[in-house]
Structure 1
């Protein structure tokens, strides 16, 4: 009862505080001008004090308006030029209001502090004002999916801070502007990552000047325009590119040979042009997932020998490209292959699909070629082969399945199933959610402009996307109960479309604030889909018809609330005094209860059990709290187990996910050992070490609470269990992160710590694939008297264990170095240290020949890294690993030296070892303050799977 009274008093106090706020008079007038232009302004826009009256979508700093974020608010009307008088404005997002029409006012150029201008999916038309180029602080410019006409303003080239430029899906025409003399152009945007210009009417040639080696572009999207001429060779100078789309234009001439330099590109779309000449060799493009070259006029040539040299390839589309000859059987052994379409060519001879390696293969479409035989016709296979229109199917009476078109799938390929419940019948226009609750969801369509998979009938990618969406919504504390995806399909522009529904949490419908927050994370690209499956995207939100805060008397209710609050002010002082006394007594009572339930509070330093625990940042959780956070330690929350006990996923009231490591009876440490471990871990704070958040030591329970690390263990990824693509650059980055974490423990922690159990299952990967050293159950702190070594019982994991430590029982930091060397070999071979009785260190030593390519280790190294060309730095990486596993610890490097050497190897491979990953868990409030998040960087969000089952293993 007391807590209820206290909550009510806080509400009254906050309401009075809000009424006391005052908005700058000029800003208030500007917002009223906007409201006068709109037929359906939000109902909360009443009163004369937008900041004080909490107008939906209006953000303020003191008395000044700094943001107007109103996506999906059913706004109708025009954008008043008076918006320019909001001189402190930093964010404008009016996306998904297709009732907003008319032209952008030229005066928008007066908003000198504007960082984000986002107008996705509205009805704006007319030319984009040249004054846009005077917004010197602009970082996000998203005007896509409107009706803008005219030319691209050259003045955009003045926006030196621009990160995101999206003008796609408009009616823009004319040439691509580049700089000339004092006239700016797009070539000046060397810091911009995203050029999105697809689905316009741009014409003329692509200026060679547009691209240069100083650019940092990752997306160049010019699909579905009217561009002519050649693809300039300068494109090959932009080594940072990941997605390139020039399909559906009228480009001609030869492809530049140096396109092979784009080793980071995973989506290359050049279909439906008039390209001629030979196909360039793409051997070096070992990150290539999707290759679209259909409907061009390349010179008639045999099937390229580089086809099998693309280890990451999932989709090959080369219809009507004059290919001839036979497809090598080894091509079909590519491990990630899903779709092969080579219709309308001159392929001949016998088709041999060899030994299919990919379990994701869906279709091999070779219609209308000259194939005379099929070697594997009697072998069962679970994918479609189409040979209709080939001589092999021309025999009278042929009934083979491959000589018939497969039936079209009329049913949806995927729709989110219910989660262990029966869908309930819903009244009116409500829909049953995956949790079987009737509600009014917020809906829209995800449009992916690039895609790293094509097996649309496979449910795994959609489940991964659902998990990443819910992880994002929960970590950002958005009011979403569940999400569903449905109707995956490809549109004529080769965009992959998915219908999305987001269901409200704890109520039947969203209020305007909830819709605004959800829509904003899509329009502002704050949400990033898992980058190992999904590429660049945009979202088209539907109008929401069921706002929970839309009562007809909303204005009267607001006035009544203010009158009631003012009346309550007369007794507020007395109530606050009474509540303060009550709160003080409750606090004292809670402190007494905590002391009674927490054994650490009674720690007696006089009874040979050590001093009072010295904890730095670790929180003491009660058993009841953790029971609630882990859903009563239910089986659904059980995400791992081992000799010590079980690991449960939990959710704090803030929405933050945690991992709860709960000891089982019989495996628990003594109180002193448990206290020592917590003291040790509470002092460890490093981005490459898993953070201890707290502990529980009551009711006979011992539990450790860690940060939740979503992408499982390194072991899961190397084995393929996680589904994360482990190319060479990612392996290097993970090795560096793990080395830095271990070096921190050895050299900077106080006291220094020897981990004693470095292995791939104890290296966890976060949402950006940053490595984190985990599991300190065997760790040993090194006091000043033990700096050389400490004699101790041998503990660790066979295969990783230092033989010198095993023989002498003398533990040093070099014992961890040995384990890390074994880990490095595991990283490049994807083999367990001891596998089928063979020890990886011995196997590498015996096979290693430095006079030969790749040190003669081709049979041992993991082929999924790709060996069309030697990965840069791989041989030096092996050298470093072998120096770490020297028999004598004195001959091994320190972890600090290992870190420096891996940094040198990364620089040799063209990577920046000091590049920081953008955060994927910034709060909504942070996102709306003008800070931009990197939507599709190398470190973008990966599979948000369960906490690794292998995290806890028997020791």
Structure 2
């Protein structure tokens, strides 16, 4: 009410006071935004947004630009946004707290040229009114939760250059025009189609592409598209990057792709393409080619292998290639990687004496090579499971040739240890949360992840490419008058989809940025003003919330001073009275806001032996709110219980369901676990991790609020409690989802995280039966000083606990790998790890006979897995599980290796590893209504000191 009185007051007396208040059409709209956002820039206090408010830019008195990236905004986008009729740029990127639907009224912003909402949490359908924004040049809605179809009306945007809707939940076909409706085929001037990581389905119609288009990037990876690759794709001569991998495409590859002479990256892997391996001789600029895992006819090694002089990376696993590799292939000047696993390559392997000095990896596992002609090549060569290695083993009894072993080199893992070095200086010792910059100055950097969607190189150990990227970033920031001292890159990681790089941007001459600077840096990255070196390909930035702002340079004049100085006489009295009322209300609001902004002011560090939690964007709820959402924590809303306390289902005013974990006085877990879980979950975001919605710390109450995961835990399904039948395909999918979640924690979270309590009760199943890792109360964050190991009190769950960790008290990521291996065995047996005095790992090891069908494990398997059908890939699955539970951590695979192997197993089983679980098996039967609950465990134990290793097993 106080805000509304103030708005009315400023509008009525504006002619008298002569204020430079924003135009009366704009100010109400901005005030509505301010009221709708629970968390907003604290500098939004003055009466003139055009000069006082961060992120607001005006032309005259009209608002033309709103740039608020990485501000930690929370709330929804109001329909009143339509009042900002002169708005040209709206960038709200990297604000995870922005939720709800995008308002239909967005279509009334007729002058909008840039609509950028990267990395928020908007959901629901994308409004078709976007198609009326005829001035729109840049549309980036990627990395949200949008659902429904691609609005055909987007085809009405004649000036659109950049179209990015990747990483959402979009469904249905790719729209094309049909006379009465618009479609993407009408976007003749658009250069970027970015639709990867969605759920798009149906055939790609021939009409989608035509020769008048100016497209350079066509990215449709990781969808559910079917049918053939349209031959019209070959008509778009401007194309540079093409990704159709990880779909369900069939048929022959169009022969006219050969004419796309500008394409440098071509990804067609993980489909069901058939016919002969295509002839792409004419693609002279092709640098990166991946056609792996398709159903091509058995084909001779193509002659064009040796003619693509720009080629850096050749990946053609499982493509039925046969014959001898030409020696000329390895002399291609730019060649870095050759991966031809699981083919029929035979004869003699001759790399020659003149080969590319950039060649880092040759992987020819599972072929029929009988001889290796040794030369001068000394980098990674893998010939395991070829006759040449079997013969060596037979003749020598050892098979010790290095090329006969699977390499664990970081390059073959797709990772690198690169970190930007210091610039001829000694790194400073900094205060907590500060970081020493490359120029050895302590500061709070702006951080995030640069995600490159189609790099044209595969040698991640080449430091010069990162140096060039650093220089270009710094030059770009400084050329836009941003006070940036230096940038740092680290942790290059090449997963199955993209290349990720951690970015830190450091301020110049002081230790922190202000909000205006952060919004400008974020905008430079979100709207693609920054252009990386071309071989990095298309990219997207995922910015973190910045929490250590300095003072903004804009005026901070109070409303009372402006009004008091401008008003006089009776007007002054009236204004002072109203301002007094407003100030009183604001004081009460400020007191409430103080609780929200400093929810842990009463945190008792002595009691918990831990400092107050440090959050990265989690939402604060009052106890009163949560009681309302759960009908006062009624027993009817109770959906589970565990060591922490009880779990309740709640319903937010938006209709979103939540799960609320409420601690009890007798809880086995305490403040430290509460702190750990909210700190870690507030900083990690992955589809295979349970999302933290928020928390409550009030009057000694500790509550954690999660997304609602409707189908309970893996344990519930394996035990029959949920009524959901998990056949072989679904168990593979659950394994893959869990593995991907752990791989993210180990390798993409910054810093990395060890879960420390992986088990079937801590893996939940969503409405599509996708696995989500939960319960981070025992997790451990790996700091810079202890990346190799952590000496720690042993914590975990009996049966899943890594014996090496227990004996040495040295915690590593391989401890999670061990627990995951136990979970894999539990998935196929439906037995708890320790049951009737028997340990599942030892039972499998004792029973296993590799000369028998299903490795002789019939009596241990869960009958509901579908024993009547062929369990394709079962033996490889068991082999992988047993590798995960090797006694020595060094003998266990990494989680990223586990992910790749399970993906391969699923493909062997005829299952698309990127398809939704709910459709992964036609044999799924819903026996009864699944129980809907978040299921925390009550099996956790803590131990310190020593006791016999036998106690890891049941007594």
Give the TM-score, by structure 2 length: 0.55
Secondary structure, in 3 states, of the residue corresponding to 2:26?
helix
- 1:312 paired to 2:285: no
Question: Of residues 348, 355, 358 in structure 1, which corresponds to 2:356?
Answer: 358
CA drift of 1:561 comes to 8.5
Contact 1:28 1:48 in 2 (8 A): no
**1:57 maps to which of 52, 55, 58:** 55
Conserved 8 A contact 1:426-1:438: yes
Report the Cα distance in structure 1 between the residues aligned to 2:460 and 2:533, rounded to whole angstroms.
Answer: 16
**Could you tell me which residue of structure 1 aligns to residue 45 of structure 2?**
46
Cross-structure match for 1:497 = 500
**d(CA) in 1 for partners of 2:564, 2:370:** 87
Contact 1:253 1:274 in 2 (8 A): yes
Structure-1 residue corresponding to 2:948: none
Match of residue 158, structure 1, among 141, 156, 159: 156
Alignment partner of 2:427 out of 414, 423, 434: 423
SS in 2 for 1:471: helix
Q: Deviations over 1:326-362 (max 9, x none)?
A: 1100011100000110000000000011134422111
What do the CA deviations read for 1:650-679 (whole angstroms, capped 9, x no partner)?
xxxxxxxxxxxxxxxxxxxxxxxxxxxxxx
Partner of residue 645, structure 2: none
| Equivalent residues in 2 for 1:712-731, closer than 5 Å | none
- The aligned runs of 1:102-113 (5 Å cut-off) are 102-113=100-111
Counterparts of 1:518 and 1:550, CA distance in 2? 15
Does structure 2 conserve the Cα–Cα contact (< 8 Å) formed by 1:91 and 1:116? yes
Q: CA deviation at 1:281?
A: 1.2
CA distance in 2, matches of 1:560, 1:438: 38
Asked if structure 2 preserves the Cα contact closer than 8 Å seen for 1:43 and 1:555, the reply is no
Q: Which structure 2 residues correspond to residues 118-517 of structure 1 after superposition, within 5 A?
A: 118-376=116-374, 379-394=375-390, 395-396=392-393, 397-409=398-410, 412-493=416-497, 495-517=498-520
Q: Which residue of 1 aligns with 2:941?
A: none
Match of 1:916 in 2: none
1:43 and 1:550 in contact (8 A); partners too: no
Instruction: Describe how 1:893-912 pairs up with structure 2 within 5 A.
Output: none
CA contact (8 A) 2:46 2:53 kept: no
Equivalent pair of 2:516/2:552 in contact (CA under 8 Å) = no
- Contact persistence 2:71–2:546 (CA under 8 A): yes
Inter-partner Cα distance in structure 2 for 1:537 and 1:209: 27
Q: Over residues 497-527 of structure 1, what are the superposed CA-to-partner deviations in whole Å (9 max), with x where a residue is unaligned?
A: 0000000111111100110010001100000
Between Structure 1 and Structure 2, how many residues are aligned? 543
- The 1:400/1:128 distance shift into structure 2, 3 A limit, reads same
Conservation of the 8 A alpha-carbon contact between 2:285 and 2:310: yes
**Where do 5+ consecutive residues of structure 2 fail to align?**
1-16, 568-955
1:47 to partner: Cα distance? 2.7
CA distance in 1, matches of 2:207, 2:545: 42
- 1:817-843 deviation digits (Å, cap 9, x = unpaired): xxxxxxxxxxxxxxxxxxxxxxxxxxx
For the residues of structure 2 that align with 1:565 and 1:467, how far apart are their CA atoms?
A: 50
Distance, in Å, in 2 between the alignment partners of 1:366 and 1:29 is: 66
Q: State the alpha-carbon separation in 1 of the partners of residues 264 and 555 from structure 2.
A: 53
Please state how far the C-alpha of 1:467 moved relative to its aligned partner.
Answer: 0.8
1:563 to partner: Cα distance: 9.6
How far residue 21 of structure 1 moved from its aligned partner, in angstroms, is 2.5
Quick check: 1:32 aligned with 2:31?
yes
Q: Would you say the 8 A contact 1:267–1:291 is kept in 2? A: yes
After superposition, the C-alpha distances for 1:737-779 in whole angstroms (9 at most, x for unaligned) are xxxxxxxxxxxxxxxxxxxxxxxxxxxxxxxxxxxxxxxxxxx
- 1:478/1:555 Cα in 2 relative to 1: closer, same or farther (>3 Å)? closer
Contact 2:341 2:365 in 1 (8 A): yes
Contact 2:66 2:90 in 1 (8 A): yes
The alignment partner of 1:25 has SS state of coil
The residue aligned with 2:890 is: none
CA displacement, residues 612-633 of structure 1 (integer Å, 9 cap, x when unaligned):
xxxxxxxxxxxxxxxxxxxxxx
| Distance (Å, rounded) in 1 between the aligned partners of 2:67 and 2:249 | 40
Query: Would the aligned equivalents of 1:169 and 1:198 in 2 still touch at CA under 8 Å?
Result: yes
Query: Equivalent residue for 1:99?
Result: 97
1:234 Cα deviation after fit: 0.5
1:447-497 per-residue CA deviation (whole Å, 9 max, x = no partner) reads 00111211001111100100111111121111110000000011232x010
What residue is the counterpart of 1:694 in the other structure?
A: none
Counterpart CA distance in 2 for 1:557 and 1:107 is 33
CA contact (8 A) 2:46 2:556 kept: no
Seen in structure 2, the aligned counterparts of structure 1 residues 285 and 56 have a Cα distance that, compared at 3 Å, is: same
What is aligned with 2:812? Answer: none
**Which has the larger displacement, 61-70 or 395-404?**
395-404
> d(CA) in 1 for partners of 2:175 and 2:557?
54
Structure-2 residue corresponding to 1:737: none
| Per-residue CA distance 1:404-451 (angstroms, 9 max, x = gap) | 122344995200011101111111110111111110000000000111
Other-structure match for 2:82: 84
Contact 2:286 2:308 survives alignment (8 Å):
yes
Task: State the alpha-carbon separation in 2 of the partners of residues 412 and 562 from structure 1.
Answer: 56
Aligned equivalent of 1:547: 549
2: CA distance, partners of 1:432 / 1:37: 38
- Corresponding position of 1:74: 72
- What TM-score, normalized to structure 1? 0.55
Give the secondary-structure state (helix, strand or coil) at the position aligned to 2:370. Answer: strand
State the shift of 1:387 in Å: 0.3
What secondary structure sits across from 2:143 in the alignment? coil
Matched residues in 1 for 2:26 and 2:253: separation? 54
Show the counterpart of 1:878.
none
Task: Provide the rounded CA distance (Å) in 2 between the counterparts of 1:513 and 1:268.
Answer: 40
Q: Is the 8 A contact 2:67 2:519 kept in 1?
A: yes
Alignment pair present for 1:22 and 2:21: yes
Secondary structure in 2 aligned to 1:26?
coil
**Measured at CA, do residues 375 and 564 of structure 1 come closer, stay the same or move farther in structure 2, by a change above 3 Å?**
farther
CA contact 1:46–1:555 (8 Å) conserved in 2: no
Deviations 1:802-855 (A, max 9, x none): xxxxxxxxxxxxxxxxxxxxxxxxxxxxxxxxxxxxxxxxxxxxxxxxxxxxxx
Partner-residue secondary structure (3-state), 1:488: strand
Q: Distance in 1 between matches of 2:343 and 2:109?
A: 56
Give the conservation status (yes or no) of the 8 Å contact 2:46–2:558: no
CA distance in 2, matches of 1:516, 1:364: 44
In structure 2, the CA distance between the partners of 1:480 and 1:293, relative to structure 1 (3 Å rule), is: same
**1:839-850 equivalences in 2 (<5 Å):** none
Distance 2:565 2:332 in 1: 69
8 Å CA contact retained: 2:54, 2:515: yes
Contact 2:351-2:377 within 8 A present in 1 as well: no
CA apart distance, 1:317: 0.6
Cα drift, residue 42 of structure 1: 1.1
How far apart, in 1, do the equivalents of 2:47 and 2:183 lie? 43
Structure 1 gaps, min length 5: 1-17, 568-955
Question: In the alignment, what sits opposite 1:535?
Answer: 537
How far residue 557 of structure 1 moved from its aligned partner, in angstroms, is 6.4
What is the CA deviation profile of residues 126-167 of structure 1, one whole-angstrom value per residue up to 9, with x for unaligned ones?
A: 000111111111111100000000011111111111111101
Q: Indicate if the aligned counterparts of 1:44 and 1:555 stay in contact, CA closer than 8 A.
A: no
